[in-house]
Amino acid sequence: MFAIRRSRLTFAVTLTLIGVTPATAQNLCRPTLMINDALLSPIEPPNLQRKWTAIVTANTSECAVNSGGFLDIVFTRLSENAPDLEFRQRFAWSPFSVKVAMDFAADEAVGQYRIENITPCVCRDRAAEDRAATNDGWRKQ
Protein backbone atom coordinates (compact mmCIF):
# COMPACT_ATOMS: atom_id res chain seq x y z
CA MET A 1 0.00 0.00 0.00
CA PHE A 2 2.77 2.43 0.97
CA ALA A 3 4.81 1.38 -2.06
CA ILE A 4 1.96 2.32 -4.41
CA ARG A 5 1.52 5.72 -2.73
CA ARG A 6 5.26 6.33 -2.80
CA SER A 7 5.51 5.45 -6.51
CA ARG A 8 2.54 7.72 -7.33
CA LEU A 9 4.09 10.54 -5.33
CA THR A 10 7.44 10.02 -7.03
CA PHE A 11 5.73 10.03 -10.43
CA ALA A 12 3.85 13.26 -9.61
CA VAL A 13 7.00 14.99 -8.34
CA THR A 14 8.92 13.92 -11.44
CA LEU A 15 6.24 15.31 -13.74
CA THR A 16 6.22 18.56 -11.81
CA LEU A 17 10.01 18.93 -12.01
CA ILE A 18 10.03 18.15 -15.72
CA GLY A 19 7.52 20.94 -16.28
CA VAL A 20 9.31 23.45 -14.06
CA THR A 21 12.94 22.92 -15.10
CA PRO A 22 12.72 24.22 -18.70
CA ALA A 23 10.82 27.31 -17.61
CA THR A 24 13.44 28.11 -14.99
CA ALA A 25 16.35 27.48 -17.35
CA GLN A 26 14.89 29.79 -19.99
CA ASN A 27 14.86 32.73 -17.59
CA LEU A 28 18.57 32.62 -16.75
CA CYS A 29 21.33 34.16 -18.86
CA ARG A 30 25.07 34.44 -18.41
CA PRO A 31 26.80 37.79 -18.72
CA THR A 32 30.11 37.96 -20.55
CA LEU A 33 32.82 39.12 -18.15
CA MET A 34 36.33 40.21 -19.04
CA ILE A 35 39.39 41.19 -17.01
CA ASN A 36 41.10 44.36 -18.22
CA ASP A 37 44.00 46.52 -17.05
CA ALA A 38 45.50 43.94 -14.68
CA LEU A 39 48.50 45.36 -12.80
CA LEU A 40 50.75 44.22 -9.97
CA SER A 41 52.01 47.15 -7.91
CA PRO A 42 55.57 47.60 -6.68
CA ILE A 43 56.30 46.56 -3.10
CA GLU A 44 54.60 49.01 -0.75
CA PRO A 45 55.99 49.82 2.69
CA PRO A 46 55.32 49.41 5.62
CA ASN A 47 53.66 45.98 5.16
CA LEU A 48 55.88 45.03 2.18
CA GLN A 49 52.98 43.80 0.09
CA ARG A 50 52.06 44.10 -3.56
CA LYS A 51 48.54 44.76 -4.78
CA TRP A 52 47.10 43.10 -7.89
CA THR A 53 44.32 45.22 -9.36
CA ALA A 54 42.13 44.79 -12.42
CA ILE A 55 38.90 46.04 -13.93
CA VAL A 56 36.14 43.48 -14.52
CA THR A 57 33.81 44.61 -17.29
CA ALA A 58 30.46 42.96 -17.90
CA ASN A 59 28.43 42.68 -21.07
CA THR A 60 24.97 42.32 -19.57
CA SER A 61 22.97 43.02 -22.73
CA GLU A 62 21.02 39.76 -22.26
CA CYS A 63 20.38 40.42 -18.55
CA ALA A 64 17.52 42.24 -16.89
CA VAL A 65 18.14 45.78 -15.69
CA ASN A 66 20.19 46.12 -12.49
CA SER A 67 21.44 42.53 -12.60
CA GLY A 68 24.45 41.54 -10.59
CA GLY A 69 26.11 38.51 -9.13
CA PHE A 70 29.39 36.89 -8.28
CA LEU A 71 32.39 35.44 -10.08
CA ASP A 72 35.49 33.57 -9.05
CA ILE A 73 38.89 34.66 -10.27
CA VAL A 74 41.29 31.73 -10.22
CA PHE A 75 44.86 32.87 -9.60
CA THR A 76 48.13 31.01 -10.02
CA ARG A 77 50.42 32.51 -7.39
CA LEU A 78 54.14 32.33 -8.07
CA SER A 79 56.47 32.53 -5.10
CA GLU A 80 60.24 32.67 -4.66
CA ASN A 81 60.04 30.60 -1.45
CA ALA A 82 57.15 28.19 -2.01
CA PRO A 83 55.56 26.04 -4.70
CA ASP A 84 53.17 27.67 -7.13
CA LEU A 85 49.65 27.73 -5.77
CA GLU A 86 46.32 27.91 -7.56
CA PHE A 87 43.50 29.47 -5.55
CA ARG A 88 40.25 31.30 -6.17
CA GLN A 89 38.77 34.49 -4.82
CA ARG A 90 35.13 35.52 -5.08
CA PHE A 91 34.20 39.00 -6.29
CA ALA A 92 30.93 40.73 -7.15
CA TRP A 93 30.02 41.77 -10.68
CA SER A 94 27.56 44.42 -11.79
CA PRO A 95 26.39 45.82 -15.13
CA PHE A 96 29.16 48.40 -14.83
CA SER A 97 32.90 48.02 -14.53
CA VAL A 98 34.13 46.85 -11.15
CA LYS A 99 37.64 47.34 -9.79
CA VAL A 100 38.94 44.23 -8.00
CA ALA A 101 42.08 43.90 -5.90
CA MET A 102 44.12 41.22 -4.10
CA ASP A 103 47.13 41.57 -1.80
CA PHE A 104 50.27 39.48 -2.35
CA ALA A 105 53.49 39.20 -0.36
CA ALA A 106 56.67 40.88 -1.58
CA ASP A 107 58.08 37.59 -2.91
CA GLU A 108 54.87 36.65 -4.76
CA ALA A 109 53.55 37.39 -8.23
CA VAL A 110 50.50 36.46 -10.30
CA GLY A 111 51.39 33.91 -12.96
CA GLN A 112 47.93 33.48 -14.47
CA TYR A 113 44.34 34.40 -13.76
CA ARG A 114 40.98 33.44 -15.23
CA ILE A 115 37.28 33.86 -14.52
CA GLU A 116 35.12 30.92 -13.43
CA ASN A 117 31.74 30.30 -11.77
CA ILE A 118 29.85 33.33 -13.00
CA THR A 119 26.44 33.48 -11.38
CA PRO A 120 23.67 33.77 -13.95
CA CYS A 121 21.37 36.74 -14.26
CA VAL A 122 17.67 36.95 -14.99
CA CYS A 123 17.18 37.36 -18.75
CA ARG A 124 15.69 40.49 -20.23
CA ASP A 125 12.05 40.15 -21.21
CA ARG A 126 12.47 41.05 -24.87
CA ALA A 127 8.81 40.34 -25.68
CA ALA A 128 7.70 42.87 -23.05
CA GLU A 129 10.21 45.41 -24.38
CA ASP A 130 8.90 44.89 -27.93
CA ARG A 131 5.32 45.32 -26.75
CA ALA A 132 6.25 48.49 -24.87
CA ALA A 133 8.05 49.89 -27.92
CA THR A 134 5.06 49.06 -30.13
CA ASN A 135 2.61 50.66 -27.70
CA ASP A 136 4.84 53.71 -27.37
CA GLY A 137 4.93 54.12 -31.15
CA TRP A 138 1.15 53.74 -31.35
CA ARG A 139 0.64 56.49 -28.76
CA LYS A 140 2.82 58.95 -30.67
CA GLN A 141 0.72 58.70 -33.85
Query: What whole-number distance in Å separates Cα of residue 38 and Cα of residue 45?
Result: 21
- What is the value of pTM for the model shown? 0.70
Which of 91, 85, 82 minimizes the C-alpha distance to 110? 85
- Residues contacting 54, CB < 8 A, separation 6+: 35, 36, 37, 38, 39, 99, 100, 101, 113
CA separation (Å) from 90 to 85, 87, 100?
A: 16, 10, 10
What average pLDDT score do residues 39-46 get?
94
pLDDT, the chain, mean: 83
pLDDT: which is higher, 128 or 42: 42
Confidence of residue 16 (pLDDT cuts 50, 70, 90): very low
Query: What whole-number distance in Å separates Cα of residue 114 and Cα of residue 33?
Result: 10
CATH 2.60.40: does it fit domain 25-127? yes
pLDDT in the model for residue 17: 42
What average pLDDT score do residues 58-66 get?
90
Q: Is it the case that residue 128 has pLDDT exceeding 90?
A: no
